[in-house]
Chains A and B, each alone.
Chain A
Amino acid sequence: MLLSSLPLPWLLVLLPWAGAVVLAALPSARIAAMANIGVSAVALALALLLFWQPQGGQGWLQLDALNLPLLALSFIIGLAAAVFSGGAAAEGCARAWHGGFQLFMGAQALALLSESMGVAWLALVIATIAGALMVASQRTAPAVQAAWKFLLLCGTGIGLALFGTVLLQLAAQPLGAGLSWATLRGLAEQCDPAALSLSFVFLLAGYGSLAGLVPLHSWLPDVEAEGPLAMPALLSGLLPNAALLTVLRAKAVLGANPEAVAPGIFLLALGLASVLLAALALWQRGRAKRLFAWASIGQIGLAAFAFGLGGPAANMAGLLLLLGHALGKGAAAFGIGHAEQVKGRQGIAEMGGLCASHPGLGWALAFAIAALAGMPPFALFAGLFLLLTELAARGAWLLLPLGLGLLGMIAAMVTAMQELCLAGTGAEVPRRRGGWTRAQAMALGPPWLLLVLALLLGVALPGPLAALLAEAARIPG
């Protein structure tokens, strides 16, 4: 009773933003890092409490089966990133990093929870600004350049998405519908189909840039390579989820109008293009972080492809792909970030042999790459398996291009895993007896925790969560 009266969704947005103000003002980086962990832990507790709160709207916010699992996931990743960055050596401007971190967490929560497409757009503007702040907090020339590229490309996407939002409002204008998703969906059948169709193209192109979908994807490798170590878990693990969820809500509106163009075809095209491009780009052997950025572009492309296919089973596959990607990406980002610190190198070839030299780190990274590549028994594999089964039943001709892209991605990732983790020996590194130090625990705990969650989602999806995901899969249509 008490729980249902609490404005938990608003707290999930306002707590991180209040934390951002405090953290940006704290002069001590060490205290700020601990406070960042504290704020993230409280936010995660609040997010988990949402599972016991009744679903429905609260003003501009709404809680439903579609955003609930993504919210919980985002605050799990947020806490893991806060712990990892708290243990890592200080990088750049701590105030900008911690302030941007919590500003981003609140904004992506607002985007996920938003019941209005205008509020979702505002939230993603704030998330983009916070993302740029995090990247630029490194204060190196390449990082600032990457942040600017991110702002320019995502700013373009945001402009396109704003136009799509206006068009969607225009489609429903004679009916007196506002920007509420629920109202728009209810009145979609009477909306102008041409305006609805055009609006989806702009919304997909705009939010697709924030999700890292081709063709406005090129910010992602630069930002991941130059940003702080924990940042990829947030910008390519969480931002795509918030952006894609907004696209899915628009897809649900379009799907309710039989005269509007089928929105799935656009998602299928962008998703497939992202997978095929990632399959080629993953064979470039340079900085390891760029490799993981391309893996994200490919996996988000796969999720977009699944949502484009549509229907409860394919949507379920898409949700599992999003969840599995965020967990795998978080683990891989923390693993490679720690590897860069202990090895003092950034290239794949230069860091080789991690399992032999640093077993705890090496095996965590090896499993993380396997999880990110979509190998069993992790969550991404469950989503992939479901997607391929559904595709074989409904559009077998698409199996060939998707299968080729998928095979290319997996082969490239396994080769990278061999080079990074399994090749070479670690004889030159003296082994330390005893358990992990505090710094090691803060660096290695988060990736192992995320891997355990990815494993649980892959092999033993809890019944209530499976039911929630099945309910969520019916929403986008």
Chain B
Amino acid sequence: MSFGPQDIAHLPGGAMLLISFILLHRRRVVAAIDAFALQGAMLALAAAWQGWVQGAPQLYLVALIEAGAKAVVFPIALRRLSRRSGEQPVAEATGGVGLGLAAGIALVGLAVLLVQPIGAAGRIVTREDLVPALSILLLGLLLMVLRRDAVLQLVGLMSLESGAILAAVSLADMPLVPLLSTAGLMLLGVVLAGAFFRDGGRFVPDGEGG
């Protein structure tokens, strides 16, 4: 049984999946934002490691962009948004945390079932990369459905996009990845800016918001 660089590449993906469950579990908004920042850092690590394994320098750029946006800029902005919008520090979860976690486990099972036939052609590595990516995407979707808090819905959307980017960086020779990653982050940035403008249709300067 051998253990190679590609196996290490599964570690950040697995960590991201674990953090997706933490996001489902955390009811405190600030704690969820911190977990999301860690997930962003893991995504950057996954992209950088894949860049080294695949010999694809453009993935280092993706790692840099994702780290800057999802581990630093977005979490800071989400914290400010949470403070300004005056949302409850403890978010309401539809159906309770336990039900959310159970649904999350079911979705991971679904991801395994959906991806299983793809590896049949002999590319087992692909399947192992794809299961965490699809699971993270589905758990992000679940977070958006279960949480009514705008900040956590945004975290869900960003986590969903992280799953898609994880799949893109894991796939050798995937073209346009830096462009796709930048465009995805641009869209998330606009959604985030839109959340700032939501309150009364105008940007609420620091200190004025509830």
Contacts and interface: CB of A to CB of B under 8 A. Distances in A.
Interface of A: 116, 118-119, 121-122, 125-126, 128-129, 132, 136, 139-145, 147-148, 151-152, 155-156, 158-160, 162-163, 165-167, 169-170, 173-174, 176, 178-179, 192, 194-195, 198
A207 B158 CA distance: 18
8 contacts: A116-B176, A118-B179, A121-B183, A148-B194, A159-B137, A162-B168, A166-B167, A173-B172
B175 interface: yes
Most buried by B among A136, A144, A159: A159
B86 interface: no
Nearest to A205: B141
Nearest to A196: B118
Contacts of A195: 118
B126 A159 contact: no
Contacts of B163: 159, 163
A139 B201 contact: yes
A125 B186 contact: yes
Contacts of A151: 187, 190-191, 194
A122 B195 contact: no
Given A125-B183, A156-B141, A144 B197 contact: yes
B43 interface: no
B157 to A, nearest CB: 5
B137 A163 contact: yes
| Most chain A Cβ neighbours within 10 Å, of B165, B172, B180 | B180
A122 B180 contact: yes
Contacts of A165: 180
A119 B130 CA distance: 23
B175 A118 contact: yes
A144 B187 contact: no
B131 interface: no
A316 B174 CA distance: 34
A156 B171 CA distance: 22
Given A166-B174, A170-B126, 11 more contacts: A121-B180, A122-B183, A142-B201, A144-B194, A144-B201, A148-B194, A151-B191, A160-B137, A162-B168, A167-B167, A173-B172
B101 to A, nearest CB: 21
A144 B118 CA distance: 42
Interface residues of B, number: 47
A-B CB proximity, top 6 nearest: A194-B117, A141-B201, A162-B164, A118-B176, A163-B164, A148-B194
A405 to B, nearest CB: 27
B120 interface: yes
A159 B173 CA distance: 20
A173 B173 contact: yes
B28 interface: no
B153 interface: yes
Contacts of B157: 152, 155-156, 159
Contact of A179 (B115, B123, B144, B176): B176
Contact of A159 (B160, B174, B194): B160
Given A163-B137, A174-B123, A179-B175, A158 B187 contact: yes
B133 interface: yes
Given A159-B161, A159-B184, A144 B171 contact: no
B72 to A, nearest CB: 20
A166 B164 contact: yes
Contacts of A142: 201
Interface string B117-146: 110110100100010011001001100100
A152 B198 CA distance: 12
A118 to B, nearest CB: 4
Contacts of B168: 162, 166
Contacts of A166: 164, 167-168, 171, 174
Given A152-B153, A170-B126, A141 B200 contact: yes
A192 B121 contact: yes
A183 to B, nearest CB: 11
Contact of B171 (A126, A129, A173): A173
Given A151-B194, A155-B191, A159-B184, A169 B118 contact: no
Contacts of A174: 121, 123
B207 to A, nearest CB: 20
Contacts of B197: 136, 144, 148
A192 B167 contact: no
Contacts of B188: 155
B114 interface: yes
Given A136-B197, A144-B198, A152-B153, A194 B118 contact: yes
